Amino acid sequence: QVRLAESGGGLVQPGGSLSVSCRAYGNIGSRNTMGWYRQAPGKERELVATMTSGGGTTYADSVKDRFTISRDNVLKMVQLQMNSLKPEDTAVYYCNLEFLKVLNVEGATRKMDYWGEGILVTVSS
């Protein structure tokens, strides 16, 4: 059974820095994508940043040049370093994991999608 454990987050003043980390437990395959989404009060969940096991990254325009995603494939961890934080970055941040699970010898696959419980990041003076 796959499980995601998030850590970090908290309260920071505008302009400050914070990081959130996520570690996956269980069999997540050798090719996968891990990343972070966020949901602010009254808004839909949105992509923040993702990183494939091969090192490819995707960032939301709103966080480019401020946030950096990194991962350790051996430890099955992904980290989001957030700098120059703004009040509008306040949200619950969710770790996400996606990978294709091989179902049989013919190569049939199923997309697996897992979410962490979420961790609160508050940017306020």
Query: Model confidence over 52-95: pLDDT tens digits?
Result: 999 999 999 999 999 999 999 999 999 999 999 999 999 999 99
Query: Model confidence over 24-59: pLDDT tens digits?
Result: 999 888 899 999 999 999 999 999 999 999 999 999
- pLDDT at position 45 is 97
3-10 contact pairs (CB < 8 A, 24+): 3/114, 4/95, 4/97, 4/114, 4/115, 4/116, 4/117, 5/116, 6/93, 6/94, 6/95, 6/116, 6/117, 6/118, 6/119, 7/119, 8/119, 9/93, 9/119, 9/120, 9/121, 10/120, 10/121, 10/122
- pLDDT at position 70 is 98
